[in-house]
């Protein structure tokens, strides 16, 4: 694939990005307290004294959260560190009652790994993972409830997060989008994060720098608060373009934190608010180092589901699918399962075409998820069976599918009810063809003069006369006999 370049006045520029993703761990209770993690509860109803930063309260780590983070590390093909340390990241903010966030700094739980991006042209691009560490989430501030006031809800305070940091291996907005989607897919397969960007369970900060192709790394800026794949892609382009213009005008990029404004489509500096940031990390005296025994990791490993990369490989090998179709089908575990149910005992490629074509098309058009679709795997399978045994033609099958989607009826019932069975009776077809031939002497002459295209026209007329129910293969054969 051609490399992504931005044209400046002094030539082409390359974009270099690294992503930091905060992924909320799926668990019932918080990382260091026994309060619930559910989204959307009454304000401050899911808060323990630990989460509220009450004096004297001690954090006790949630074993399941650690397990989820290890599982994610394994899913990223990453090093699991047997010894890691929780540290305090100190800063003041109204939604951080402790005055510090418990995080991991020098010794994270998970080290280097790799994520493979599936690009639309079938290319696979590896992106390095630098680290994954566990930390607490902060509370939520609402600034628009009352003039001059900020409302604080601590329900999210203390919920377990994984911060997943990539290496600066990403070279285009498209790759950044593919990276988030792939990571999201892996997290959802593992059941360690629901990946919901709208609810904030997956949040993204982007490090962006530019350079002339082949040159050393430029100075980077961190763009915060980007909460959809589309915005991430926009933000990278906007920030890279800003840096290029700045450099070409003789300026210099200053390492800083910037905020993406989706309405204006630009990033702006957060300087000033940032200058006081000096986190003064130190090991949390309330917590001992986290020791992960080998057999624990082995048990987690034994319990891992088949992940998207392996599933994709299997779909390519076992079902003979192309890399792109396989990638689309495995992106969501539910979709992959649905496909396998449809393909089971049937022609795998036809099944893939129908699932990615008609079925996804209908889903997108209706704006529904798989579990809300009025046609299930068994119903789609029945339709494919009717095609396979020549009960209906492919053309009619599409009409039947539409009817199924609208009414929720089964394919067999619709075919029966509307009399859509394919005409395979030679006598009946011959009678129809004879009529078409008799009515169109001019075209018959053209065929006899050697115009083969008109043969196709006759097939079309026969299909029209039967409402698409004629078996096209038989029509072709009979016509050739009669006109050839």
Partner 1 sequence: MAVDKDTVAKIAKLARIRVEPEQQEALTQELSNILRWVEHLGELDTDGVEPMTSVVEMNLKMREDEVADGRRQNDIVANAPESKHGFFVVPRVVE
**Can you give the binding site for partner 1, defined by CB under 8 A?**
27-29, 33-36, 42-50, 52, 60-66, 90, 92-94, 141-143, 145-154, 276, 278, 280, 283, 287-291
Comparing C-alpha atoms, which of 352, 333, 290, 247 is closest to residue 135? 290
- C-beta of 257: minimal distance to partner 1 in Å? 13
Min separation Cβ 148 and partner 1, Å:
5
Instruction: Tell me the closest approach of the beta carbon of residue 259 to partner 1, in angstroms.
Output: 8
Tokens, residue 189:
């397969």
Report the residue number, 32 or 359, with the smaller CB distance to partner 1.
32
Close Cβ partners of 312 (under 8 Å, ≥ 6 residues apart):
118, 323, 326, 327, 330
Q: How far is the CB of 155 from partner 1 (least distance, A)?
A: 8
**Between 142 and 388, whose beta carbon lies closer to partner 1?**
142
Q: Which of 483, 474, 484 is nearest to 438 (CA)?
A: 483
- The residue written with tokens 């509220």 in the block is 52
Identity of the residue, 60 or 217, whose beta carbon is nearer to partner 1 in the bound complex: 60
Q: Is 354 exposed, middle or buried (0-12, 13-18, 19+ CB in 10 A)?
A: buried
129-164 burial code (b ≥16 CB/10 A, e <16): bbbbbbbbbbbeeeeeeeeeeeebbbbbbbbbbbbb
**Residue with smaller CB distance to partner 1, 25 or 342:** 25
CB of 291: closest distance to partner 1 in angstroms? 6
Q: Which is nearer to partner 1, 42 or 121 (CB)?
A: 42
- Please tell me what DSSP assigns to residue 148: T
Residue number with CB closer to partner 1 (48 or 209): 48
Closest approach of Cβ 313 to partner 1, in Å? 33
Q: How far is the CB of 38 from partner 1 (least distance, A)?
A: 9
Helix (H) or strand (E) holding 128: strand 124-136
- Give the Cα separation of 60 and 34 in Å (integer): 9
Q: In the complex, what is the shortest distance from the CB of residue 64 to partner 1, in angstroms, rounded to a whole number?
A: 4
CB of 197 to partner 1, least distance (A): 20
Cβ proximity to partner 1: between 65 and 178 the closer is 65
How far is Cα 361 from Cα 68, in angstroms, rounded to an integer? 35
- 6-10 long-range contacts, CB within 8 A, separation 24+: 6/210, 6/237, 6/240, 6/241, 6/244, 8/244, 8/245, 8/248, 9/248, 10/248
Residue 102 CB, nearest approach to partner 1 (Å): 12
Residue 234 CB contacts under 8 Å (≥ 6 apart), including other chains = 173, 260, 262, 265
Q: Quick one: which H or E segment has residue 66?
A: helix 63-75
**Closest to partner 1 by CB, 34 or 254:** 34
Residue placing its CB nearer to partner 1 in the complex, 127 or 152:
152
Give the length of the chain.
484
The answer to whether 330 and 314 are in contact (CB under 8 A) is no
Q: Kindly tell me which of 46 and 172 has the beta carbon lying closer to partner 1.
A: 46
């Amino acid at each position: 694939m051609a490399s992504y370049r931005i044209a400046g006045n002094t030539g082409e520029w390359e974009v270099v990005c690294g992503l930091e993703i905060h992924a909320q761990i799926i668990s019932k209770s918080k990382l260091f307290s026994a309060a619930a993690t559910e989204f959307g509860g009454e304000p401050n109803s899911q808060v323990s004294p630990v989460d509220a930063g009450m004096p004297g309260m001690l954090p006790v780590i949630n074993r399941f959260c650690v397990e989820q983070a290890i599982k994610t590390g394994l899913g990223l093909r990453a090093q699991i560190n047997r010894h890691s340390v929780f540290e305090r990241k100190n800063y003041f903010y109204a939604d951080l009652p402790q005055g510090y966030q418990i995080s991991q700094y020098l010794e994270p739980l998970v080290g280097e790994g790799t994520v493979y991006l599936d690009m639309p042209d079938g290319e696979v691009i590896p992106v390095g993972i630098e680290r994954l560490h566990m930390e607490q989430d902060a509370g939520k501030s609402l600034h628009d409830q009352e003039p001059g006031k900020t409302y604080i809800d601590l329900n999210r305070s203390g919920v377990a997060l994984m911060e997943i940091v990539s290496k600066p291996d990403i070279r285009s907005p498209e790759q950044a989008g593919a990276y988030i989607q792939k990571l999201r897919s892996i997290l959802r397969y593992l059941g360690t994060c629901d990946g919901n960007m709208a609810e904030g369970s997956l949040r993204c900060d982007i490090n962006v720098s530019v350079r002339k192709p082949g040159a050393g790394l430029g100075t980077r800026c961190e763009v915060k608060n980007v909460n959809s794949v589309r915005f991430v892609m926009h933000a990278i382009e906007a920030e890279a373009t800003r840096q290029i213009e700045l450099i070409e005008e003789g300026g210099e990029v200053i390492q800083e934190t910037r905020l993406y404004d989706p309405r204006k489509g630009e990033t702006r500096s957060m300087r000033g608010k940032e200058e006081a940031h000096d986190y003064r990390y130190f090991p949390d005296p309330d917590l001992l180092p986290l020791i992960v025994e080998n057999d624990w990791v082995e048990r987690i490993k034994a319990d891992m589901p088949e992940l998207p990369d392996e599933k994709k490989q299997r779909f390519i090998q076992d079902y003979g699918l192309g890399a792109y179709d396989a990638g689309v089908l495995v992106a969501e575990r539910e979709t992959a399962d649905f496909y396998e149910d449809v393909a089971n005992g049937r022609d795998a490629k036809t099944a893939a075409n129908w699932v990615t074509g008609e079925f996804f098309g209908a889903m997108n058009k209706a704006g529904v998820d798989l579990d809300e679709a009025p046609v299930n795997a068994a119903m789609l399978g029945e339709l494919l069976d009717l095609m396979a045994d020549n009960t209906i033609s492919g053309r009619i099958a599409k009409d039947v599918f539409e009817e199924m989607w609208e009414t929720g009826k089964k394919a067999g019932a619709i075919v029966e009810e509307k009399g859509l069975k394919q005409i395979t009776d030679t006598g009946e077809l011959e009678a129809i063809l004879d009529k078409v031939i008799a009515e169109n002497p001019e075209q018959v002459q053209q065929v006899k003069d050697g115009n083969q295209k008109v043969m196709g026209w006759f097939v079309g007329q026969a299909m029209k006369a039967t409402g698409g129910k004629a078996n096209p293969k038989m029509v072709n054969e009979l016509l050739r006999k009669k006109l050839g």
